[in-house]
Chain A
Amino acid sequence: MEAVRVVRATSVSRGFAVSAIIALAVLVSLPWWSDAGTTRLIAEMGYYLALAQLWNLLAGYAGLVSVGQQAYVGLGAYALFYLTGSWDVNVFAALPVAGLFAGLLSIPVSFAVFRLRGAYFAVGTWVVSEVFALVASLIPVLGGGSGLSLTPDIMRQIAADRAGRDTILYLMSLGVAALVFGIVYLLLRSRHGLALTAIRDSEPASASLGVNTFRTKFIVYIVTAACTGLIGSLIFLQKLRLSPEAGFSINDWTVVVIFMVVIGGIGTLEGPFIGMLLFILLREQLADYGSYYLILMGVLAIATMLKAPTGIWGWIAHRYDLQLFPVGRRLVLARSADALIGQVGWPQSFEVLQHRLAQKFRKLREIAVAMIGGDRGRK
């Protein structure tokens, strides 16, 4: 049986890729034609998006619902501040080291928390984060309870003047967001991504098929931790001040991230984008009403979980059968398409034909399979 092709992209996703590249180009040029407030906001959106993609990878794909990722935000930030402050390491060198540091520490952490499952795993990761926060507040060289600050000398390593610094920090934020997204996307497109989806759907089943579930989850956890650490260091590089409460804040780095992913659409690549945009929109619009926007997001998250568990994007994707970032695989039965073209007319592409047939003419597909498979099929 020939002519079974594995196809990744759809015409929709290709179209989207083009517009995404254009949008990215516009974003990169932003510092040169927009004001500091906007670039700062977009940088913040970049960080949140990256954090959301990472949490989504952990929870939505690897099934590791962690409520303690803020641990790595804080670890990365503290590593950066300590290296640049006490050891005079150059900022640009310290950043990746900070990420690595967070990744390394996630290894012993995983030994403890991987003993727990499900919701207990979640609370366990939270405890670990609290431990790091407490330890940081007790170590004098880390500034104790009041924390650390970045000196002007350190900031000058980035750029001589304020505007230059803002631009570089902004571009780094975009870069990290793109990098993290790229890592997550490529991972999910790969064999490992397939393994992750299998694990998410059924761990025992995938284990019985030979997927090394422990190792896969372990690797995802460490990579996520390292990336989260890198983002954390960048966030606080912009903030200039770090305290245990801020660095390890569950509210700032985990609560909102979880809401973004859940409302946007957990287990999808597109979801975190939507969730992040919604969150920023709500926060800016409801800024005068204190923490009501958080209450609103809590209500939205609950409603989403109960009524539309796949989130906003999940609903859209299901309704219109869309996938903007193609991570799936579609099988195209070329021979069947050939045989049926005569009946339905010449299609734009085999992919579209297969897609439409599968959607609406399930019987036709059975006939096609029967024709290829011969009399091996059912009666």
Chain B
Amino acid sequence: MEWFNVLIQGSLLGGIYALFAIGLSMSFGIMRLVNIAHGDLIVLSAYAALVITDSTGVDPFSSLVIVVPVMFAVGYALQRGLLNFTLSGGLLPPLLVTFGISVIIQNGLLQIFGAYDHRLQGGAVETAALHFPAGISIGVYPLMVFAVAAVAIGCLQLLFYRTRIGRAFRAVSDDADTAELMGIDNLKLYALALGIAMIFTAIAGVLFAIRTIFDPAAGPIRLILAFEAVIIGGLGSMWGTLIGGMVLGIAQSLGAALNPTWQILAGHVAFLIILIIRPSGLFPRTRD
């Protein structure tokens, strides 16, 4: 039954990876922009929560009440004030500008908080577990995170397919030029998109920081995990990203079961294998 636990654990890991990936996926789907600073924005959210919990004493979950709107504003301003200007220059400007932002965030956090490790305190829920017969046990926290991810994706799907603004998002994602001809203000929409993406990024940042130690340099690996989940799942499909996250998580868990130091590497290897044999991912939908 140990292997069954490994599988469950891995699948639930997919939740946090999917949460990491949502913002990245939205950015690319709607703005065709791969945000290299994405991982650092996750970490920035964690630090924001840290500041709030340290200064007010509230628990990290409650700090989301402030962190989420703040990160929404950050995303909106970032896209509106900076990233919107990189969209017409080809491949290099968005890549290099977001790269620059990544370096600025990392070093800024380093200057302000120092290179120390931190972790948000989530309380008893961190270690709680549900026990089932036959030796199966499921961590409450990972289960909760997975549920949050599923609900988040469900909400996003509702947004995209049942609202006016979601329709506009899909149209812009299909054909930005024609969308503008139909009266859509593309630049404002992009800003809104990144703002919404940052909502999920903020949630991801707080949730991951409860379970995992973080420091200013923790961003890049989060970007890579998000990226791997998106690529494995296939570009353009949110539920696919969840599945991609689960595959990644399972690969990592299997690796960790063989040898704890192999966890991250196992995920990378699975990613590379899928990249070689099925480059468009498991459930691809976007035309590029």
Binary A-proximity of B81-92 (CB < 8 A = 1, otherwise 0): 010011001011
Which residue of B100, B223, B264, B269 is within 8 Å of A301 (Cβ)?
Answer: B100
Decide: B268 and A65 in contact? CB cutoff 8 A: no
Decide: A130 and B99 in contact? CB cutoff 8 A: no
Bound-state CA distance A305–B271 (Å) is: 31
Bound-state CA distance A121–B275 (Å) is: 11
B4 within 8 A of A: no
- Interface size bucket, B side? 35 or more
Decide: B275 and A297 in contact? CB cutoff 8 A: no
Bound-state CA distance A134–B110 (Å) is: 24
Bound-state CA distance A138–B255 (Å) is: 13
Bound-state CA distance A266–B275 (Å) is: 29
Decide: A138 and B85 in contact? CB cutoff 8 A: no
B94 within 8 A of A: yes
Bound-state CA distance A322–B254 (Å) is: 58
B279 within 8 A of A: yes
B73 within 8 A of A: no
- Interface size bucket, A side? 35 or more
Which residue of A67, A298, A309 is within 8 Å of B104 (Cβ)?
Answer: A298
B107 within 8 A of A: yes
B176 within 8 A of A: no
A155 within 8 A of B: no
B228 within 8 A of A: yes
Binary A-proximity of B29-64 (CB < 8 A = 1, otherwise 0): 000011010000000000000000000000000000
Within 8 Å CB of A301, what residues of B?
A: 96-97, 99-100, 103
Within 8 Å CB of B104, what residues of A?
A: 295, 298-299, 302
Decide: A131 and B269 in contact? CB cutoff 8 A: yes
Query: Which residues of chain A (56-71) have a CB below 8 Å from chain B?
Result: 59, 63, 65, 67
Binary B-proximity of A291-322 (CB < 8 A = 1, otherwise 0): 11011011101100110010000000000000
Q: How many A-B residue pairs have CB under 8 A?
A: 120
Decide: A115 and B101 in contact? CB cutoff 8 A: no
Decide: B103 and A298 in contact? CB cutoff 8 A: yes
- Interface-central residue, A63, A116, A124, by most chain B CB under 10 Å: A124
Decide: A255 and B103 in contact? CB cutoff 8 A: yes
A93 within 8 A of B: no
Q: Kindly report which residue of chain B lies nearest to residue A138, judged by CB atoms.
A: B261
Within 8 Å CB of A258, what residues of B?
A: 96, 99
A250 within 8 A of B: yes
A123 within 8 A of B: yes
Within 8 Å CB of B231, what residues of A?
A: 120
Which residue of B93, B111, B224 is within 8 Å of A130 (Cβ)?
Answer: B224
B272 within 8 A of A: yes
Q: Kindly report which residue of chain A lies nearest to residue B280, judged by CB atoms.
A: A115
Decide: B265 and A306 in contact? CB cutoff 8 A: no
Decide: B271 and A119 in contact? CB cutoff 8 A: no
Bound-state CA distance A25–B245 (Å) is: 57
Decide: B224 and A126 in contact? CB cutoff 8 A: yes
Within 8 Å CB of B275, what residues of A?
A: 112, 115-116, 124
Query: Which residues of chain B (121-149) have a CB below 8 Å from chain A?
Result: none
A128 within 8 A of B: yes
- Interface-central residue, B34, B85, B107, B276, by most chain A CB under 10 Å: B107
Within 8 Å CB of A128, what residues of B?
A: 272
Closest chain-A Cβ to B87's Cβ sits at a distance in Å of 11
A135 within 8 A of B: yes
Bound-state CA distance A46–B91 (Å) is: 29
Decide: A127 and B224 in contact? CB cutoff 8 A: yes
Decide: A302 and B82 in contact? CB cutoff 8 A: yes
Which residue of B103, B108, B227 is within 8 Å of A123 (Cβ)?
Answer: B227
Closest chain-A Cβ to B139's Cβ sits at a distance in Å of 25
Decide: B276 and A306 in contact? CB cutoff 8 A: no
Binary A-proximity of B14-32 (CB < 8 A = 1, otherwise 0): 0000000000000000000
Q: A65-B92, A127-B227, A298-B107 are in contact. Are A112 and B276 (CB under 8 A)?
A: yes
Q: Kindly report which residue of chain B lies nearest to residue A134, judged by CB atoms.
A: B265
Q: Can you list 29 residue pairs at the A/B interface with Cβ under 8 Å?
A: A65-B91, A67-B99, A111-B276, A112-B272, A112-B276, A115-B279, A118-B34, A119-B33, A119-B34, A119-B36, A120-B34, A122-B34, A124-B275, A127-B271, A131-B265, A134-B265, A258-B99, A266-B92, A290-B110, A294-B107, A298-B100, A299-B104, A302-B100, A302-B101, A305-B92, A306-B85, A306-B93, A306-B97, A309-B92
Leading 5 A-B pairs by shortest Cβ distance: A119-B34, A298-B104, A298-B103, A291-B107, A298-B100
